[in-house]
Chains A and B, each alone.
Chain A
């Protein structure tokens, strides 16, 4: 029997992390996501599943604890919000350079700088374009409900371990803080060390006689080897782009117009689409679930059919650039956004849409 519960998105992440057999959580408190660590500490999973939970001295330390845990093949995560995620960028780049799987969660707030503690989606670029140095990508999942915040924990780990690419769950203060019904994933035991060794033969688990020592590093001073490593990583990125695109379509089949929005903005747009439809306007909503890999191909397909596209984001216009790249000038692509922690109403979205009719 599935048990329906009422909780915040942040709490759902914590419960899902325990239930999916995570080995460790390392984090530093920051609004609006502190409930994640608070829930974990209250649940005391170290007494049940053996999961380690540790409050680090900074986000910098948190991400390197994640790096250390991941280097030994463990299933580890950290969570933070925008300024904290900025601090983690060095470590995220190092984890990408060392091809380490891990789950990162950004419950976005408005910026730049300290900005605000209110919701925002202004870290889209940071997450999908590589916020740190070097050529790298993060698999980026954008939940639009408490249920998805719970579900994307295990999905994020699965994708991350499959491709050895860190996975970012890019949530925001709306989804993190709102309470909604959720069915938590079933309990799954943590992997045994034997299972870990089978899944992660690359991990630094202690040099046995039957193999060479393993070094987890992003460093190689030989330019030819370094380029090869980069090319191999890029080939995994191409594979992810070819196979892991996820999106949701809402009333798109007969649409003359398309709204593109992710996360909490997509929730608002869904209401806007319903009221516009009631007025007889054939508008659909495409919600990218993976922000990288971006659902560009499906958008290019819709560009053949619709008259224009409108992206709605809680930022100054970030994803709109990827939508424009995807449609390559075929149709106009407009942007409507609010900043500073303001969440627009469906009516505001409808009004913005109607301007372009």
Chain B
């Protein structure tokens, strides 16, 4: 059983110490865990654990503060950018980021999101877009694709009834206050590496006072989508990426 390679001196990868040992409450295969892990790694590599204040959303990631070992303030649904605005303005030396899902950022918190970005608040916004409300049990999100099934559009999203899936990241890229707007994913090793570079850049922008950075992570909600994690990744590539194409939308 004992493998001689498994020895601390040969260790090349493990989860960051900034990620706590608490078992995450997320469903197996959920993108949130990977996104949390990336944020933890970036905070550790930047050596900013002591100077970080995160803002937690309402949604599945409401308990992000149980997993990331940094100080947190928990916002009401959609209000994270307002909290982050004040935290950063009153503590300009801090690394301040929000972590928000599509319902939080693109529905109930649209106003707070747009105005924080338009003011160019020196915060980083990590935006998880999985096209569905995970925590409340799989209802339609502003980003649910046309034809995509959810518990409140059981026959698929009909744009004549529900309107169109919202490309809010494209909207935010238009605002003068944003300095870096990118769309990434975390479903493969290569995409994880790219997303990590994006998060690092967003956090550095926050500290350098360059304006608002948005890292959208196109994600899966395999429970809500009613697929296995692997099927969900394939479905995301096939259906989400054409509508929400990956890559930088703005980098100034």
Contacts and interface: CB of A to CB of B under 8 A. Distances in A.
Are chains A and B touching in the complex at the 8 Å CB cutoff?
yes
A204 B82 contact: no
A88 B94 CA distance: 27
Interface stretch (A64-72, A120-128, A269-277, A294-302): A64-72
Contacts of B49: 206-207
B115 interface: yes
Nearest to B53: A204
B74 A69 contact: no
A94 interface: yes
Contacts of B91: 72, 74, 205
Interface residues of A, number: 38
Contacts of A71: 53, 73, 83, 87
B70 A67 contact: no
A64 B79 CA distance: 7
B82 A69 contact: no
B60 interface: no
B124 interface: no
Interface string B47-79: 001111101100000100100011111111001
Contacts of B111: 57-58, 60-61
Interface stretch (A2-10, A208-216, A338-346): A208-216
A76 B85 contact: no
A207 B90 contact: no
B143 to A, nearest CB: 22
A68 B84 contact: yes
Contacts of B52: 206-207
B76 A94 contact: yes
A90 interface: yes
Contacts of B69: 207, 213
Most chain-B Cβ atoms within 10 A of its Cβ — which of A54, A69, A91?
A: A69
Nearest to B82: A64
Given A65-B83, A68-B55, A76 B76 contact: no
A69 B76 contact: no
A218 interface: yes
A91 B56 CA distance: 15
B44 interface: no
B89 interface: yes
B50 A207 contact: yes
Contacts of A57: 111-112, 115
Interface in A93-133: 94, 98
B86 interface: yes
A217 B65 contact: yes
Nearest to B114: A57
Contacts of B76: 64, 90-91, 94
Contact of B112 (A52, A54, A64, A216): A64
A72 B73 CA distance: 9
Nearest to B119: A54
A42 interface: no
Contact of A205 (B55, B71, B83, B84): B71
A295 to B, nearest CB: 33
Contact of B89 (A52, A58, A60, A209): A52
A214 B53 CA distance: 9
Interface in A287-330: none
Given A64-B79, A206-B53, A216 B86 contact: no
Given A58-B111, A61-B79, A52 B73 contact: no
B86 A26 contact: yes
Contacts of A56: 82, 115
A148 to B, nearest CB: 28
21 contacts: A60-B79, A61-B85, A61-B112, A62-B82, A64-B82, A64-B112, A65-B83, A68-B86, A68-B87, A69-B87, A76-B90, A91-B79, A205-B91, A206-B49, A207-B69, A208-B50, A213-B72, A215-B56, A215-B72, A216-B74, A217-B56
Interface of A: 23-24, 26, 52, 54, 56-58, 60-62, 64-69, 71-72, 74, 76, 90-91, 94, 98, 204-209, 213-219
